[in-house]
Chains A and B, each alone.
Chain A
Amino acid sequence: MLTKRIIPCLDIKDGRTVKGVNFEELRDAGDPIELAAFYANEGADELVFLDITATVEKRKTLSELVNKIAHKINIPFTVGGGIQTEEDVSILLQNGADKISINTAAFQNPDIINRFAKNFGSQCVVLAIDTKLEADGNWYVYLKGGREKTNSLTMDWAKKAVDLGVGEILLTSMNHDGTKQGFALDITSTLSSALTVPIIASGGGGNAAHFYDVFTTGKADAALAASIFHYKEVAIPHLKKYLNEKGIAVRI
């Protein structure tokens, strides 16, 4: 039986793991390669690395980091952050990344989804969507790490992106991110029910029960979290044992 995936996310800035609250206030959370190896050992099903470095040297340092991670860990991982061209993708895949994640660049130029899917296969193209529930009751797409609002509804953009060839969607609720109050169950469930690709839920996971909720009510295929794993508030073996006892198929 296909299992639900638990995915620790490592935000990378200048080669270190960092974590903010509601997309701000960055704190240092350790060496990414050590953390990656630790999570792989603990039973993480996949890893996501999002590079938020803004320097011109970024591409070179990121590909070097990806190469080191690929040498070290024996589970799949996704890399995102500022990917815009086929060359960006190619360098990351050649250095051992399994998938790449795109966000702002794909929204501004949806054609890249089509091109990436054609050149590298849909299975390695993950679309990250940062979404926020506004006072009008709708979920909108945000860009540039949550700094820029668009007028696009999350469902519309997700549908279009799936038609263009994305293989998975990493959905982050900005309302929930960093709060540890639980995932955004409604929008996750709505997307998962309507789309043919797996949905990775992100933002708000604070305890094991939240993961149970997002896999059942939220209909998520995978759940991603960062700080609760980095600061050892939730240990992956305990989380998986809990889910297994509650009848969720997980890899133990």
Chain B
Amino acid sequence: MKTVIIKYNAGNIQSVLYALERLGVSAMVTDSIEEINTADKVIFPGVGEASTAMQYLRERNLDELIKNLKQPVLGICLGMQLMCMHSTENNTSCLGIFEEQVKQFETKEPAIKIPQIGWNSITSLKTPLFKGIAENSFAYFVHGYYAAKGKHTIATTHYIQDYSSALQKDNFYGLQFHPEKSAKAGEQIIQNFLAL
């Protein structure tokens, strides 16, 4: 099986690679269109800012490539947000795979910190991506923007309001949390993705 991680100007790519290595999977980090097209599984990670990341993807035609992939694709954190329709982070048009909108967390309550940093629970789990994962399992989140709930929501988390902690449409999967940093539950989710 060939697993690739899309290389672009985003953080945490190494962490995803190491997480795969811990599971005994060797992956290739690449921005080669041919390598990505011929992969069995594609991981689209990301920590960073939406408009800069989208510009980078467009300049390299990676936006069109990702949208048209037919094999299972897993977006992580910013990767998932970029797979949505639009992000209010610098008013960015994204890939439009998921129709959900990405907005900034807002609260007037001083005790609630933004960005959300830490372990939160995931509920209403759907699809084989969460096979063997108990309701209310904990995952590690670091984000100031969130995808609203919608018809592609396959996991829900509560922070200020309920939002999509995972999305799925056809062969495309997105996780707002970091499975590569979510201890054993995260490892199981990555294994489930690789088994799709």
Give the size of the chain B interface in residues (CB under 8 angstroms).
Answer: 38
Which of chain B's residues 145-196 have a Cβ closer than 8 Å to chain A? 158-159, 178, 180-184, 186-187
* Chain A residues closer than 8 Å to B187, beta-carbon distance: 74
| Cβ-defined contact, B11 with A121, below 8 A | yes
For residue A95, which residues in chain B have a CB less than 8 angstroms away from its CB?
Answer: 14
A24 to chain B, nearest CB (A): 31
Check B115–A76 contact: CB distance below 8 A: no
Contact A3 B118 (CB under 8 A): yes
In whole angstroms, what is the CA distance A196 to B21 when docked? Answer: 36
Render B93-116 as a binary contact track against A, CB cut-off 8 A, 1 for contact.
Answer: 000000000000000001101111
The answer to whether B111 touches A222 (Cβ under 8 A) is no
Interface of A is mostly: loop
How far apart are the CA atoms of A71 and B21 in the complex, in Å? 8
Interchain CB contact (< 8 A) of A196 among B19, B110, B141, B181: B110
Cross-chain pair count, CB within 8 angstroms: 91
Q: Which residue of A lies closest to B115 (CB)?
A: A123
Q: Is A96 in contact with B113, judged by CB distance below 8 angstroms? A: no
Is B183 a contact partner of A2 (Cβ separation < 8 A)? no
- Indicate with 1 or 0, residue by residue over A57-81, a CB within 8 angstroms of chain B CB atoms: 0000000000000111011100000
Query: What is the predominant secondary structure among interface residues of chain B facing chain A?
Result: mixed
User: B119 touching A5 by the CB < 8 A rule?
Assistant: yes
Partner of B114, one of A1, A76, A196: A196
Task: Scan residues 15-52 of chain A and give those whose CB is less than 8 A from a CB of chain B.
Answer: 40, 45
Whether the pair A193, B138 counts as a contact (CB closer than 8 A) is no
A219 contacts B47, C-beta separation under 8 Å: no
The interface size of chain A toward B, counting residues with CB under 8 Å, comes to 35
- Contact at A74–B180, with CB atoms within 8 Å? yes
Tell me how far the C-beta of B136 lies from the nearest C-beta in chain A, rounded to whole angstroms. Answer: 9
The reply to whether B111 and A193 contact each other, CB–CB distance below 8 Å, is yes
Residues of B within 8 A of A (CB): 11-12, 14-15, 18-19, 21-22, 47-49, 110-111, 113-121, 138, 140-144, 158-159, 178, 180-184, 186-187
Leading 10 A-B pairs by shortest Cβ distance: A251-B138, A251-B119, A123-B142, A76-B181, A2-B120, A198-B113, A3-B119, A96-B14, A71-B18, A70-B18
* A and B contact pairs by CB, cutoff 8 A, 19 listed: A1-B158, A2-B116, A2-B118, A3-B138, A71-B18, A94-B14, A96-B18, A98-B181, A121-B11, A121-B47, A121-B48, A123-B47, A123-B115, A124-B11, A192-B111, A198-B118, A221-B113, A221-B118, A251-B138
